[in-house]
Amino acid sequence: MKMKPAGIITKIVIVAIILYAGISMLTLKTRIEEAREEMSVLQTQVDQTALKNAELEYEISHSADEATIEDVARNKLGLVNPGEKIFYDVSN
């Protein structure tokens, strides 16, 4: 049984399908690269947030320590011990 040679229309359709598949693959490759970059940025944010959470958990767990209370009183509230003198450098 002899096969008919493919007509010009069939060849054009096949070439169009191949071109479409190639363009689609390039588009998908670009989207995958963008998604990987976004994933990298998001992973960095997750790592930073996890580190901040660990610091906050440490602060919470040590919030009743005398040294922590004194540090907050001195640095954030500006309190001093009785009889203590504070000197400020005003040379700037």
Q: What range does the domain containing 38 cover? A: 8-72
With 80 as the cut, is the pLDDT of residue 4 above it?
no
The conformation of residue 48, written as its DSSP 8-state character, comes to H
In a domain, 79, yes or no: no
What is the per-residue pLDDT for 29?
96
Asked if residue 7 lies in contact with residue 14, where contact means CB atoms within 8 angstroms, the answer is no
Average pLDDT, the chain: 90
In a domain, 15, yes or no: yes
Q: How far apart are CA 92 and CA 84, in angstroms?
A: 24
In a domain, 90, yes or no: no
In a domain, 87, yes or no: no
Query: What does the pLDDT look like over 29-57, one tens digit per residue?
Result: 999 999 999 999 999 999 999 999 999 99
Query: What does the pLDDT look like over 61-88, one tens digit per residue?
Result: 988 888 888 888 888 888 888 888 888 8
Q: What domain count does the chain have?
A: 1
